[in-house]
Structure 1
Amino acid sequence: MTLSIETPALLFSATSLILLAYTNRFLTIAQIIRSLKKNYQEDHNKSILLEIKNLNKRLTLIRFMQLMGVLCLFLSVFAMLLLFIDMQSIAIYLFGLSMLCLLISLGISFWEISISVNALRVHLSDLEEFSKKD
């Protein structure tokens, strides 16, 4: 089995875009947490505290998503270096490992999105009850 130097390079654009999306998620959630913390300090509403806890869990997942994405990119570059110096067999394994890191990152992303969707459903559930009363 052979691997050309262009194959690991294919992950560059995809991984870069994924990391950008993860960073945007992180920044958005961080901004929401700051806002909710300010609201909690004024109201001491327990539901706000639960939302912050949920968002904190999502931040942790995003951190692991980013870690796996960066590791994917790092291993791809390292595989390219090994291909450049003609160490084909090790490069193949490193590239496989980089794809595994990308899969893990995407799996964690799915998990984080599921948490987000469930939180939004809970948040909107009172509106559903309100609309049933009409």
Structure 2
Amino acid sequence: MTISINTPALLFPAITLLMLAYTNRFLALATLIRNLHSKWKLAPEEHHTIKEQIKNLRRRLMLIKQMQAAGITSFFFCVLCMLFFYLEYEVLAYSIFGLSLVFLLLSLVLSLNEIYISTKALELELKDMLED
């Protein structure tokens, strides 16, 4: 298989769009946390329920941070790969490109895990509403 300096460049739009999606998830989670904080202050009697949500939000926040870190690392290795192609270190460029793909894959796996956790939390909310 032959790749050139253009091959890693093809990942640029995908990685940047992925990072945008991760940032949107982070902002939505930040809004949720701020709302929960307000609820925490206003309704001390609901602290037990809120504590369960806090555990879930902390886990999701950690996953989003790891997703972003893996995505940024993938982007970094893409640029580094292009630099090595430019400097005509092709063997090193191939290895670095492989690392870039591994980190992109890791980012996607973490994203899938975060989606699973967030949908599970929504299912619990729906269950609570049906029980009332």
TM-score (norm 1): 0.93
Amino acid at match of 1:51: Q
Distance 1:127 1:43 in 2: 18
Q: CA deviation at 1:38?
A: 1.2
Verify: 1:23 aligned to 2:15, yes or no: no
In structure 1, the residue matched to 2:72 is 70
In structure 2, the residue matched to 1:12 is 12
In structure 1, the residue matched to 2:130 is 128
Moved over 4 A (4+): none
Distance 1:117 1:59 in 2: 14
* Structure 1: gaps of 5 or more residues: none
Structural RMSD (CA): 1.1
Secondary structure at 1:50 match in 2 = helix
In structure 2, the residue matched to 1:2 is 2
Which residue of the other structure, out of 112, 115, 118, is the alignment partner of 2:114? 112
Aligned pairs (5 A) from 1:74-93: 74-93=76-95
Secondary structure at 1:35 match in 2 = helix
TM-score (norm 2): 0.94
Equivalenced residue count is: 130
- Kindly, what percent of the aligned residue pairs are identical? 45
* Structure 2: gaps of 5 or more residues: none
In structure 2, the residue matched to 1:33 is 33
Amino acid at match of 1:71: T
